[in-house]
Structures are given as structure tokens and as C-alpha cells.
Amino acid sequence: MMRLDHGIERGRRIQIILDGERVDVFEGETLAAAMIEQSSAFRRDSNGMARGMFCNMGTCGECTVTLLPGGQRVRACLVPAQVGMDVTRD
Amino acid sequence: MGGGLIGCATAWRLAREGAKVTVLDSGDFGMGASGQNAGSLHFQLERRFLENGDALAEQATRTAALNRLAISDWSSLEADLATNLHITMNGGLMVAETAEECALLELKIARENAEGLRTRMIDGHEARQIAPYLSEAICAAGYSPDEGHADARLVTHAIAIAADKTGALLRPRCRVQSIRRVCREYVVRTAAEQFAASQILIACGAWTAHVAAMLNLHVPLFPVGLLMNATERVAQVVPHLVQHVGRRLSMKQTHSGNLLIGGGWPSRMALDAEGRFTLYRPPAVIEASLRGNLRVAIDVAPMVATINLVRSWTGITAISADQLPIVGEIPAMPGCWVAGGGSAFTLGPTFARLIAQSMSGTKCEELEIVAPSRFAHLNSFMGQ
């Protein structure tokens, strides 16, 4: 996934944990944006097919992830990345 | 007419026997109630038949023979179609929370057993052994070993493909504009084509009454807007169909892991410019229905409270004037068959098989309880 890098103001580089691995993201961008930079496939469906971002506006629920250690289920497209977040995809 | 579950399955059965069949639908196949329902395969007497007095319960009990046939039809459907429709028949529980509900359950099960259904009464403890997700408040359940669910998005589509392969002509997006009876034939016109048939079937769900009107006939089927809900995907925890004998609930878990929660909660049907119900816009969610539906689900299975709701949708089905389905030949109009009016996902494959058999000339006693002849008086002054 290619990012725009001119004429854009972003938060500082921070690290979150995604599926147990440290990844660099921009503070304040959505978790979905951070995830899509890693891979456009967010999960595999029951037939083994890759599924990724769909609506990016909180409607479809495709990007739902679990926040550790609390276990809250949130829509990654609505939640800003913050230092130290621990995120698990399905 | 009507490319839903019944229409497609009847065409498939008839075409397999060598009949020349065409299926017309004003929209795409399986997009009405056949595809909008939540896919319950329910073989216990429905709660809606128990809340309106003994006479209706008695009458509905006589449809048990159809439920027995439906169990066998669903058991063989995937093999017949050689495809996976996510049919599971791991059993179903109709739960009770109060002493009154337990008493109702006992009466219901006695009726079912008398008609040869394998339902049995279990206490709360046994219910939780079978279904550990059930609340401590559940004091008893009717357990049917055959109940379950199927993916309503897949079933009609798969049957339509089978019908097509056996030689039926499928015509989506062909709205019927007129039906005329000429001598012993029916002439059905769409915008671009004209079809002549010795027999026709109107299986158009909530549109059935509109289509029958083209033949100057009444079919007392009324549109009903319902609400269904889907949660996010979670690990498999509910392998059964869960219903409630005294409150509106149907709950199951899909192959993908979503819980589907419904059970007959109303949605608000849209009105047209003249203030009449319209079938051309989806009904609106009624907030009290949504809250009520989820409340029952949580009372029955407390873990539901920990799962996120991702979607609520509404759909339109049809209910008959006496709540029983209307399936058979219309007495005032020989060769004109009708099928619809409730439970038509669970009973759809069976209705289709029996209609195909009847159209081919072998009378089906099982359809007598749901025959349109009980409403023949409505057409005393109708027809042509």
C-alpha cells in the first residue's frame, strides 16, 4: 500500500502491537490505516479467501479487531492509533 | 411466477420430470422473503400458533405432517443439489422461563408427539447440558433433534442453478404485465415476451395478491414487515436453533460465526403516495422491536450481551388470513396454483415438491390442510 508523502501533516511515528508484532504507525491515524499498510488482507473468510477493508466509515464491521488486554471489540476504521496499543485481528 | 425458493424449487422438480417450465420474477431470484429471512429450519409448532387460542393451535398441529416431510426434504437437499448450503440440523430448543410457559410447552409437545414429531420436554438442567450458553432462568425446553438452519442467501440461488441445468427457462427482471385465461391455457405477458402454459403457479410472496388480481382473484395474503439482526462473528458457541415458547425469539449462529437474532418482531412498512402499504421500499426498523428482540436474546443466552450487533435488516413476508400457508390449486381457476403465506423457508422445498407432484397429476393429501379452497368464498364473485 502506497502512502501520500507530500503536502500531508501526520502525527509522529509511534509503535503499536499488531497480532503480537511491533509495527510503526503514525499517531492518530486510524488502526485500519495502520493495518492496511501492513497488508490489505485483514482476515480469511470461512472459505479461506482474503477479506480486507470495505466501507472505512464504521458501517460494515469488516475491520473489527480486539484490543488487548481488555478484549474490547472495536471497528479499526474508527479508532485512532495511540502509543502502546495492542491489537489482534481475527 | 416468483423466483423465490418455492418457485425455483417447483421448476426444478417439474423440469427434472421432463416438463417445460419457465420461471418469471420482476426482480432478481431469491431477493424477496426467500433471501431476506434468517434461515431457520423450525419443526416445532410455532409460538405464533399458540398465542391465539386452542382452535388455531389445533389447526396448526395438523400441519405437523408437512414438518415431518420438511425434515426429510432438508436432510437430502445438499446431496440432491451437490452443493454446500450450510444446512445444519443439530437440534433446536424452544425454551420456557415461567411456570405458565412450561405448561404451554407441555401441551405443545403432547400435540406434536401425537402427530409423530420427535419433540421432547427437557428440564432446565438438561437444556443447559445440551446448550451451556442458556441462562439459569430457563426452566424447561422443547427439544427437537432435527431443527437447525440453512443459509438463506445460498439456498434459492443453488436451486435456481439446478433448475436452469435441468432445462427450466429462468427469466429474472421480467415483470408480469397481464395474465389471461384463453380456453384451457394461461397466457402470461411480460414487456418483451408472451408465454402460454397449461398450468401456472403464483409464488410471489407478499406480491401474490397483486399477481392474482391480474386473474380477477383474491388470495388473502397480507404483507408483514419483520426485523432481523446480525452480530459480529464470534467463535462457534450456538450450534442449535433457539426459540422461545412465550416470547419472540429465533437465534442461530451462521457458518461464518455471526449470531442471527429475530423471531417475529415487527418493522414499519413504508407507505406509497396514496397511503397504502408499499412493497417497493424496505420497512423501517422500529427501535422498540430492536430493543425487545435483543432483550429476549440476552435473557435466554446472557453471553449475547458481550457481542456487538453489526447489522439489523428488515424484510417483507406474507401472512394469510388464518395464519396457515395457502398452497394448492385455486378452485375457481383450474390450472392456477398458488403457494405462500408463512413458514415458507422451512416448508418451501416440501411445498415445491408436493406442488410439482400435484401439477403432474398425483394428488397430495398432505396439502389438503393448506389448500386455497378454505378461502373459496372470497372468489365466489371473482374469476372469469
Q: What is the CATH number of the domain that holds B198?
A: 3.50.50.60
DSSP state for residue A30 in the 8-state scheme: B
Q: Are residues B176 and B315 in the same domain?
A: no
Residue B58 is predicted with a pLDDT of 82
Hey, which residues 254-293 in chain B have their CB within 8 Å of chain A? 255-257
- β-bridge mates for residue A89, sequence order: none
Give the pLDDT mean for B105-130. 94
Q: Are residues B177 and B294 in the same domain?
A: no
Q: Are residues B350 and B360 in the same domain?
A: yes
Q: Is A17 among the domain residues? A: no
Q: Which of B276, B295, B320 is the last residue of a domain?
A: B320
Put simply, the answer to whether A64 touches B310 (Cβ < 8 Å) is yes
Q: Are residues B117 and B238 in the same domain?
A: yes
Q: Is A43 among the domain residues? A: yes
Residue with cell 418483451: B192
Q: Are residues B235 and B306 in the same domain?
A: yes
Q: B256 contacts in A (CB within 8 Å)?
A: 45-46
Q: Are residues B228 and B287 in the same domain?
A: yes
Q: Are residues B104 and B208 in the same domain?
A: no
pLDDT digits (tens, 9 = 90+) for B7-40: 999 999 999 999 999 999 999 999 999 999 999 9
Q: What is the CATH number of the domain that holds A35?
A: 3.10.20.30
Q: Is B168 among the domain residues? A: yes
Residue B174 is predicted with a pLDDT of 97
The domain tally of chain B equals 2
Put simply, the answer to whether B311 touches A61 (Cβ < 8 Å) is yes
Q: Is A84 among the domain residues? A: yes
Put simply, the answer to whether A64 touches B311 (Cβ < 8 Å) is no
Give the pLDDT mean for A19-35. 95
Q: Is the dihedral of CA A43, A46, A47, A53 positive or negative?
A: negative
Q: Is B162:B256 a contact under the CB 8 Å cutoff? A: no
B306: closest CA of chain A, how far (Å): 9
ipTM: 0.81
Put simply, the answer to whether B308 touches A73 (Cβ < 8 Å) is yes
Read off the pLDDT band of A1 (50, 70, 90).
low
Q: A71 contacts in B (CB within 8 Å)?
A: none
Residue B261's domain comprises: 84-147+222-320
Q: Is B48 among the domain residues? A: no
The domain tally of chain A equals 1
Q: Are residues B208 and B302 in the same domain?
A: no
Q: What single string gives the DSSP state of each residue in B263-290?
A: SS-B-BPPB-TTS-B-SSSPPBPPHHHH
Residue A42's domain comprises: 24-88
CB-count burial class (<10 Å; 0-12, 13-18, 19+) for B309: middle
Q: Is A1 among the domain residues? A: no
Read off the pLDDT band of B205 (50, 70, 90).
very high
pLDDT at residue B131 greater than cutoff 70: yes
Q: Are residues B129 and B12 in the same domain?
A: no
Q: Which of B280, B303, B320 is the last residue of a domain?
A: B320
Q: Are residues B126 and B230 in the same domain?
A: yes
